Amino acid sequence: MIETKDITLTSFQWPAGYYNDGIEMGIGQSDKLDFGYLVSEVPASAAGTYTTNKFQAAPTKLTKNMINQDHQLQAMVVNSAIANSCTGEQGEDNALTEQQLLSEKLGIDAHLVGVASTGLIGAQLPMDKVIAGIKQLSPHHEDNVTKAVLTTDKHSKQACVQLEMSGKTVTITGFAKGSGMIHPKMATMLGFVTTDAAIDGKLLQATLSENVDTTFNQITVDGDTSTNDMVVVMANGMAGAPKLTSKEDADFSSFQAGLHLVLQELAKQIAADGEGATKLVECNVNGAFSDLEGQEVAKAIVGSNLVKSAIFGQDPNWGRIISTVGMTNAHVDIAHVDIEINGIKMVQDSLALPFDEQMASDSMGANKVVIDVNLHVGSATGQAWGCDLTYNYVKINASYHT
C-alpha cells in the first residue's frame, strides 16, 4: 500500500491556474446544475483511465483518444442527466461538436478539450441546450462543476491535499460523481483530479493507472460496470516546483502519496453514497498470498449481496463472509481464517468464537462497518470499500428511467 501518513486532507481549494463553472441547462427533468466545464489556464499534462464496458460511450472514447495522443489537456466539458452512450454516429458527432465549440470559446486547440457525460443510456443530447450552455459558461473559482456532474448522488465528492515539493506548495484537488452502477474495472463513475504540480504526461499516466487499481477499482456498490465513465488527471505545473520526469525523482514519492490519498478519499465517498446506502463498509484483508489476491478477497466481501444485506440488517452473520472468501480464486488455508467485525473477533482458525451478538449488532448500526479478515497464507494485504444493500436501492433503480 502507498504510505500516506505524512499527508493529510485539507479543505477544498483549486490548485493554481484552474477555473470552472456549473450551470442549470434543463438537460434532465430535475432542477439542478447539469452542465459545466473545468479549465486550466495553460495546457496541462494529462492521464486517464476508462471503463472496460464494451459499450463505451462517445465522450469516453473521444477523451481517451485525445489524452492518448500526447497526454495533454486543457479543458473538460461535462454534463449529467444524459450519458450519450449507445447513441451511434449522432452521439459521436455531438461529442465532437461539444469539443469544437468549447475549443473555439477558449481559443485553444480542439485536441486539448475532453468531454464527459453521465446519466441515462440511449438518449441523445439536446444539442440546442448544450450549445446555449457552452455560450453561458464563464470563469469562476467556486465548486459548481463538482455539482454539475451529479445524478442520483446525494452530494458532491471532493478531496484536497497540499504538500511541499522542492520548497513549493503543491495542491492536488479532486472531485467525483458516482452512486449506482459502481463496480469499476476502470472506471464506473466520473472522477477529475487537478494539480499544479509539473509531471511528465507518460509518468502521470503510469502513476494514475497504478493508484486507480488500489482505490477506485476497489469499490463496489452493485456489481454493475457503466458504459461511460473515467478518471482524468490534469497537471499544469503552475506551482513552480521542478517537473517530475522519473519515479526516482526526490519529490515523486510525495506526489504519488498525495494523489493516492485524493483518489482513495473520493473512492470511499462514492462507496458511502451508494444508491440507498446507509453506511460505508470497509474490508481489510491480511495474510494474503499476494496483494492482488488480497484485493480480490476484499472486493468480493464488500460486493457480496448477502454480506451487504446482513450489514443493512445489523446481523453479525460471519458465515456470509467466510463463504464469500471461499468463492474467490485466492489461496486460502481453510483451517486458519480469522474474521472480525468492528474489532469484535468472531472466527479464529475457521471456527466460531463466543461473542456478544447484541454488542456486535449494535456496533453495525454505525455509519461505517469494518470487516477484518486474515487468510494466514502470506504477508500481502488488500482493501476495498462498499456499502449496505437497502430497500431504497431497489426503489431508486426500479424507477430510474420513468
| Mean predicted confidence (pLDDT) in 155-169 | 95
pLDDT band at 223 (very low <50, low <70, confident <90, very high): low
Residue 33 and residue 36: Cα distance in Å, rounded? 8
Q: 52 among the known binding-site residues?
A: no
Active-site choice (4, 51, 173, 188) = 188
- The number of beta carbons lying within 10 Å of the beta carbon of residue 247 is 12
Q: Are residues 252 and 391 in the same domain?
A: no
- Is 6 contained in some domain? no
User: What CATH code is carried by the domain that includes residue 377?
Assistant: 3.10.20.340
The pLDDT of residue 394 is 76
The pLDDT of residue 182 is 45
Q: Find the domain containing 257 and state its range.
A: 18-272
Query: Is the CA virtual torsion 118, 122, 128, 131 positive or negative?
Result: positive
User: What CATH code is carried by the domain that includes residue 97?
Assistant: 3.60.70.12
Report pLDDT digits (tens) over 333-347. Answer: 999 999 999 999 999
Average pLDDT of the residues of the chain: 91
| Mean predicted confidence (pLDDT) in 12-33 | 93
User: 43 pLDDT exceeds 90?
Assistant: yes
User: 400 pLDDT exceeds 60?
Assistant: no
Residue 361 and residue 359: Cα distance in Å, rounded? 5
Report pLDDT digits (tens) over 243-299. Answer: 999 999 999 999 999 999 999 999 888 887 777 778 999 999 999 999 999 999 999
- Is 226 contained in some domain? yes
Q: Are residues 151 and 170 in the same domain?
A: yes
User: 224 pLDDT exceeds 70?
Assistant: no
Report pLDDT digits (tens) over 104-117. Answer: 999 999 999 999 99
Domain boundary among 240, 272, 304: 272
Residue (of 116, 10, 32, 8) closest to 66 by Cα position: 116
Following DSSP, what letter does each residue of 105-169 receive, concatenated?
HHTS-GGGEEEEE-SBTTPPP-HHHHHHHHHH---B-SSHHHHHT-SS-SS-EEEEEEEEETTEE
Q: 227 among the known binding-site residues?
A: no
pLDDT band at 362 (very low <50, low <70, confident <90, very high): very high
Domain boundary among 255, 272, 289: 272
pLDDT band at 397 (very low <50, low <70, confident <90, very high): low
Report pLDDT digits (tens) over 363-391. Answer: 999 999 999 999 999 999 999 998 888 87
Q: 397 among the known binding-site residues?
A: yes
Residue 106 and residue 26: Cα distance in Å, rounded? 23
CA 165, 49, 253 angle in degrees (round to 5)? 25
Rg (CA), the chain: 22
pLDDT band at 222 (very low <50, low <70, confident <90, very high): low
Q: Are residues 266 and 308 in the same domain?
A: no
User: 187 pLDDT exceeds 50?
Assistant: no
pLDDT band at 131 (very low <50, low <70, confident <90, very high): very high
Residue (of 132, 120, 61, 119) closest to 95 by Cα position: 61
Domains identified in the chain, total number = 2
Q: Are residues 181 and 70 in the same domain?
A: yes
Q: Are residues 306 and 328 in the same domain?
A: yes
User: 354 pLDDT exceeds 80?
Assistant: yes
The pLDDT of residue 218 is 86
User: 185 pLDDT exceeds 60?
Assistant: no
Q: 146 among the known binding-site residues?
A: no
pLDDT band at 188 (very low <50, low <70, confident <90, very high): very low
The grid coordinates listed for 38 are: 473545468
The 3 state secondary structure assigned to 37-73 is EEEEEEEEEEEEEECCCCCCCHHHHHHHHHHHHHCEE
Quick check: is 51 catalytic? no
User: 199 pLDDT exceeds 90?
Assistant: yes
- Is 12 contained in some domain? no
User: 316 pLDDT exceeds 70?
Assistant: yes
Residue 294 and residue 376: Cα distance in Å, rounded? 11
Q: Are residues 164 and 284 in the same domain?
A: no
The pLDDT of residue 179 is 60
Domain boundary among 246, 272, 298: 272
The pLDDT of residue 184 is 47
Q: Which of 120-124, 314-318, 394-398 has the lowest mean pLDDT?
A: 394-398
- Is 107 contained in some domain? yes
